[in-house]
Structure 1
Amino acid sequence: MDLIHTSILIRAAVLAVIIIWRSWQLVCRRGNPSSWAMVAVMMCLAAALVAEWFALGHPPSYAWVWLEHLLLMAAVYCLNLYFVVAVCRGQAALRAAIWTLIPLLVSAAAAAVFAGRVPAGTPPYELTAPGVVGFYLSVKLYLPIGFLTACGFCEYHARRAVGPLRAALAVTGTGLLLIALAEVATTVELAHVIAGSSTPPLLHLAAQVTIGAGIVLFLTGIVVPGVAHRRRAWRLRATHRDQYRRMTDLGNDLGRTFPQLPLRYHSGGGRNEREILHGIHDRHYRRFIEIRDGLVLLSPHLADLPGPPLPERTPDRIARDIAAALGEREHGAHARGPAQQVLTGNVYSEAGDVETIVELATAYTHWKRRAHV
């Protein structure tokens, strides 16, 4: 196996992994419909690699070369659909999808006509063979248009976006513009071939540098926001996992004392109940609600204990009183006072409630461990 075929296999394997991973994410989490267009982009690129593999076979076949470039053009079209779905709605999206499809169909039809004129066994990029230059010019008819259209949609979307998304879309649009300019430059190179003149070396260098810079900017605009989002998600997940662990002792003891506390979810809207019960964010929220409600149920016993009123007690004092109240409850003691909130401090948000509960649960765990020493 030569270097070219090895490169095709590696790129196809990478794309296959990305397609499977992204599709699984979208199926499980019901992602934005426009995200499926990006999956379609990667699927077209992977299929184009398969066509390229057969196009380089023995003998070479321009039918496979035509299919390869058709799939590449389809990938550019799907990229346009990604922005169309993100920007437009309803009939406007349908009209935009149709108008962007017309240049692709014209270019693909013209390329098919010229591919039929290429003699059998002609290798790809053999520009001296009949029909080859016309074939590549037909392909170049769509690619600059497709990239420029995608750039226009991207810039329009960027003007409506805010924050980091706006900057990311601006970088992506700049990359698409550079790729379109590089496609125009390669078209000019083909025009020099048709005219029988030599291609200026500076033009070829400019095309290579421009398309390289365009690809880097395009991938940066696409990848960096996603990486930043995943970092924030991982950080939140780590925080919730740590808080859930710290609330475990208090939550378990309250759950044993009040069996009615553990929440029971009913799967609805197509969401899997196992996913609900095992997701760290859902388990974190359930544990917080169970502790909050359990403390309300336990509050009459806490209020009967000697000491200052509940709102004036410190987390360490409440943690010690919770252990005493749970012991009284287990021995059948009955409280006389009404139920009341046990949260300490001035809390006006759910995030503040969570922090207070976590602080209280941590103090309870420390008190429980000291009591067993």
Structure 2
Amino acid sequence: MILEGLVAAALSLALLWCLHRLWRTPRDRALWMVSACLAFMALNYPLGWLANAAAADSVVQHGVPKLLQNAVIMFGYFFLMLFFLFSAAPADKNVGRRAWREVVPLAVVVIAQIVSMAATPEQLRDHRFSSSSTDLQIPGIAGFYFVGAAYLVYALVQAARFALRYAAESGRRVRVGLRIAAAGLGIRAVSGSLRVLLIVVSWSGGGLPDALRDATGKLAAVGGGVFVLGVLCPAVLLRLATVRVWWRHRRAYRQLRPLWEALNAVYPKDALDRRPRSLWRERVSPRRVRRHYWRRVIEIRDGLVQLSPHLADFGYDSSRPTDQQVTAIRHALRHRHDGLPATTTSAVLVAAPAHVDNVETDVVELLALNQHFVPDGSAAARGPDLGLRQRNALMISKIRAQKPAAYVERRYALRVLAVRGRNTGEIRTVPIAVTQLDGRRYVCSPHRRRDWVRNLLAAGQVAIERDEHPVYRAVLVEGHEAARVIHTYLNALGTSSMAWPFTPGAAVSEIRAHTSTTAVFRLESHQG
């Protein structure tokens, strides 16, 4: 009784789920059929309890609950057959006619059972097939069970045939499940065929061992179990595949951390919103790993797109192997971290797959890049940058090779700055961005510890190659004027970097508080 109640509850929950899906897709005929099948299968249990209740005799005519229960069972198998029929041929115009033709044998069987029950003496209408006291030589009882068992065999065979046809057109996971389900339906059909044989032999006066009667029930139970296994098989296989994908995403998420941290350090504004709607739900959600994984992949790709102009400056060649490009990536990251602009706006293709089969192939290339990438975070890297002169030399060569960009209000133009060294007296050249604001020109730096800034503070004047007035007097400015220059330069640059002592996207009022440590020089025309 408890097991039957649990099964009825499970069927009811499955029915509610199907009804929810029907509300979203009301034109799905196969879903309508499976919902009707679940409804009749769930209704079978309360009708069975009513048929077994002695109190039912005083409410309805004797045998009516049993008739209703058998009709409900046959309707359940009828809609199960139609579910596989509509699934196997959803676009077939004749499938509707075929479904209506299946109503005829169902109606014939229901009417035959009603006639058989009416022909049975009233005191014998509470018979059970599993009971040894049931006399199958009585025409009404034998006819009742014969037509019912024969129709169930027919419905099961048809459902198995449609399921196999549906399996041939399905994917691997669904195909395996449908074949197992069809096998379960076949086992139940064999059980029904044995029941038909038992009824015929008993009605004709012959005798069969009780073990055969027990075997029909056991085969039906086995067939039902195999059918349920087949129905659950696609979901189980999908869950196993999901677990494998989850584990792969979790591993890749951790492996991509060095590359992500390096890009996030220079492009912090690219970080996507990480505030979950509910903290506790975020911690227990199985989808958390997937969300974090794709967020990291997207942020890395965004960072590489923005870094690509700097990569072009340092000779990144997408046709060369990834492991030969790491040096260019490190130089571009350090150059961008220092807040210096690129000489061009053209982009290069970074870690692109040769053949894009799916999104995962793109991630494979990122993992290969990350494998050869060494983050610039060692003790030596945090000290003097031994590659700075190389990077500056490359940038100077790129600037000199291009036509000088015109000065535009609230924009910057790349130039080569020449200033005398404070200790050696030799001329030092540096690639620099000259920003124009209110008709004046400025150069700026996140701090005053850089060599070119200290040289400029000592020299007081600077030469800008290929300018109409190449020599300028450099005037250090602070306060509101300096804050406006920094704000204009960073807006023209498109993003900030961690080298600046304020948060990315800071307003002029916030920047002003740091102008005593930053370096902003106003360039005034000076001959000398």
Structure 2 length normalisation: TM-score?
0.54
Letter aligned with residue 343 of structure 1? A
Match of 1:294 in 2: 303
Paired AA for residue 341 in structure 1: L
Residues 27-66 of structure 1: CA deviation (Å, up to 9, x unaligned): 7899986355444433322221122122222234532222
Whose helix proportion is higher, 1 or 2? 1
2:11 to 6, 11, 15: 15
One-letter code aligned to 1:65: K
Letter in 2 for 1:87: A
Match of 2:209 among 156, 179, 200: 200
Report the Cα distance in structure 2 between the residues aligned to 1:368 and 1:51, rounded to whole angstroms. Answer: 74
Q: Which has the higher strand share?
A: 2
Percent identity for Structure 1 against Structure 2: 23
1:147 paired residue among 134, 156, 164: 156
The question of 1:51 aligning with 2:38 is answered no
Contact 1:60 1:124 in 2 (8 A): no
Which one of the candidate residues 367, 370, 373 is aligned to 2:375?
A: 367
Deviation at 1:201, TM superposition (A): 3.5
Residues of 1 paired with 2:225 and 2:301: CA distance?
50
1:2-25 C-alpha deviation (Å, 9 max, x unpaired): xxx223212212333444556667
CA distance, structure 2, for counterparts of residue 312 and residue 170 of structure 1: 47
- Conserved 8 A contact 1:60-1:123: no
Partner of 2:94: 92
1:222-261 equivalence runs, <5 A: 222-244=231-253, 247=256, 254=264, 257=267, 259=269
Structure with greater contact order relative to length (CA < 8 Å, sep ≥ 6): 1
Match of 2:182 in 1: 173
> How many angstroms apart in 2 are the aligned matches of 1:25 and 1:248?
40
Match of 1:334 in 2: 341
The 1:30–1:6 alpha-carbon spacing in structure 2 relative to 1, beyond 3 Å, is same
Q: For 1:184 and 1:233, how far apart are their aligned partners in 2? A: 41
Contact 1:100 1:146 in 2 (8 A): no
- In 2, distance between residues paired with 1:282 and 1:249? 19
Q: Matched residue pairs, number?
A: 349
Query: Does the CA contact (< 8 Å) of 2:51 and 2:66 recur in 1?
Result: yes
Offset at residue 150 of structure 1 (A): 1.4
Q: Which runs of 5+ in 2 are unaligned?
A: 58-62, 274-286, 383-528
Cα gap change, 1:211/1:27 in structure 2, threshold over 3 Å: closer, same or farther? same
Could you tell me which amino acid in structure 1 is paired with residue 190 of structure 2? L
- Deviation per CA, 1:255-295, whole angstroms, max 9, x where unpaired? 983857869xxxxxxxxxxxxxx887677556534432431
Report the TM-score when normalising by structure 1. Answer: 0.73
Q: Which has the larger radius of gyration?
A: 2
Give the counterpart letter for 1:80 in structure 2. Answer: M
1:156 CA displacement? 3.3
Q: Is structure 2 residue 184 aligned with structure 1 residue 188?
A: no
Write the distance in 2 (CA, Å) between the matches of 1:244 and 1:259.
20
Whole-angstrom distance in 1 between the partners of 2:14 and 2:365: 41
How far, CA to CA, are the matches of 1:166 and 1:66 in structure 2?
37
Q: Report the AA paired with residue 296 of structure 1.
A: V
Q: Secondary structure at the match of 1:123?
A: coil
Instruction: Compute the displacement of 1:320 (Å).
Output: 3.8
The 8 Å contact of residues 177 and 232 in structure 2, kept in 1 or not, is answered as: no
Alignment RMSD: 4.2
Amino acid at match of 2:189: A
CA contact (8 A) 1:240 1:281 kept: yes
Name the counterpart of 1:273: none
List gaps (5 residues or longer) in structure 1: 264-277
How far apart in 1 are the matches of 2:243 and 2:24? Answer: 18
**1:324 matches 2:334:** yes
Deviation at 1:343, TM superposition (A): 1.6
CA distances 1:229-277 after superposition (whole Å, capped 9, x unpaired): 32112322332344346557866855983857869xxxxxxxxxxxxxx
C-alpha change, 1:144 and 1:27, in structure 2 (3 Å) is same
